[in-house]
Amino acid sequence: MSTDFQTEIKSKEEYLATADLTFTPSILKIRKVNKSPMDGIEKITFKRLDVEKDNITAENMTTGQTEVAHIKVGEAKKTFNKYIAGAQISQSYRNGEANKLGEVHSKVLRQYFKMWDNLGFDGENGNNGVFNTNDPMAIKNASEAISGADNEAKLNALIGVISAMKEQVSDSTASSDILLYVYGKELKKFMDQRLPNLGSVRSIVAETWPEAELHEVSGVSTSNKGNGLVAISQGLVTLNYVAMPDLGDQGTDNRAKEYWADYAMGSVMVDVEEKGALIEQPLTFS
């Protein structure tokens, strides 16, 4: 039985080629990216991962080896804390068939890409994200109220906010290539509303700011963020990352009668290169 199991194990490349992720990280809508891999990583110890209980985690595997990269933009000194996080799964020969391993890899990698997306938005271990950032070049406006007796009044309030953001971007970077993140349950629900003789709120917003590419953030927890918009001037904001989620080494332990595989992902840092190239506008629905 163990021999059959081992011969049915596919290569890493085959598993990755057929992985069903059904998820694309919203952070990758930022077009300017910079891969900054770790150098000189020594032997890594992986945390064991129990997939059956859906306990998918990623532990920092480079404790004591974390590299701090300094990114200097103008007079602002920024820090990119570079590290690798990951885990290892094991599958008993007796508890499953090799043809089920593809499903396991898809499940873990899908969750890892969601976790990696959260790193890009929320930041972690001192790295700046889209939402949580200490970057002096980023601007966070005071919250604006979206209120009114009906949806048309709320739409007018939203259009007023977007028009003000558009003017703010014009004054800051004058960019005509804008990524506009839309986040928050109430705002995304409102974007789906249709108004008589006017169309959907989403289409009206798109007409108000035709230079902006609207993207609704999904798969990222925004429950503690409320609702809002983030305008990013493409080309003036860089997504720095160590590594995207990946399936690493795999093999079998004949004594334990187990198959094992490693997963890893690297840290992420969002760098705003010009004042106002990232503008967040929180919104309050009432």
What pLDDT score was predicted for residue 97?
64
Tens of pLDDT, residues 205-222:
999 999 999 999 987 766
Residue 44, pLDDT above cutoff 50:
no
Q: Identify which has the larger pLDDT, 128 or 97.
A: 128
- The secondary structure of 27-38 as a DSSP string is GGG---EEE---
Of 15-19, 37-41, 75-79, the range with the highest mean pLDDT is 15-19
Q: Identify which has the larger pLDDT, 66 or 268.
A: 268
What pLDDT score was predicted for residue 94?
66
Q: Identify which has the larger pLDDT, 227 or 74.
A: 227
Least confident interval from 48-52, 200-204, 248-252? 48-52
Percent of the chain having pLDDT more than 90? 54
Is residue 47 within 8 A of residue 59, CB to CB? The reply is yes
What pLDDT score was predicted for residue 75?
52
Residue 57, pLDDT above cutoff 80:
no
Q: Identify which has the larger pLDDT, 24 or 229.
A: 229
Of 13-22, 99-108, 139-148, the range with the highest mean pLDDT is 139-148
Residue 115, pLDDT above cutoff 80:
yes
What pLDDT score was predicted for residue 251?
87
Tens of pLDDT, residues 135-189:
999 999 999 999 998 999 999 999 999 999 999 999 999 999 999 999 999 999 9
What are the φ/ψ torsions at residue 88 (nearest 5 degrees)?
Answer: -130, 140
Residues whose CB is less than 8 angstroms from the CB of residue 117 and which lie 6 or more positions away in sequence, other chains included: 25, 26, 27, 219, 220
Residue 229, pLDDT above cutoff 90:
yes
What pLDDT score was predicted for residue 45?
43
What are the φ/ψ torsions at residue 144 (nearest 5 degrees)?
Answer: -110, 145
Q: Which two tokens stand for residue 268?
A: 């992420």
**43 pLDDT band (50/70/90 cuts)?**
very low
Residue 102, pLDDT above cutoff 90:
no
**Spatial strand order in the sheet of 237-241:** 33-35, 237-241, 268-272
Q: Identify which has the larger pLDDT, 96 or 153.
A: 153
Residue 283, pLDDT above cutoff 80:
yes
Handedness of CA 114, 117, 123, 124 (dihedral sign): positive
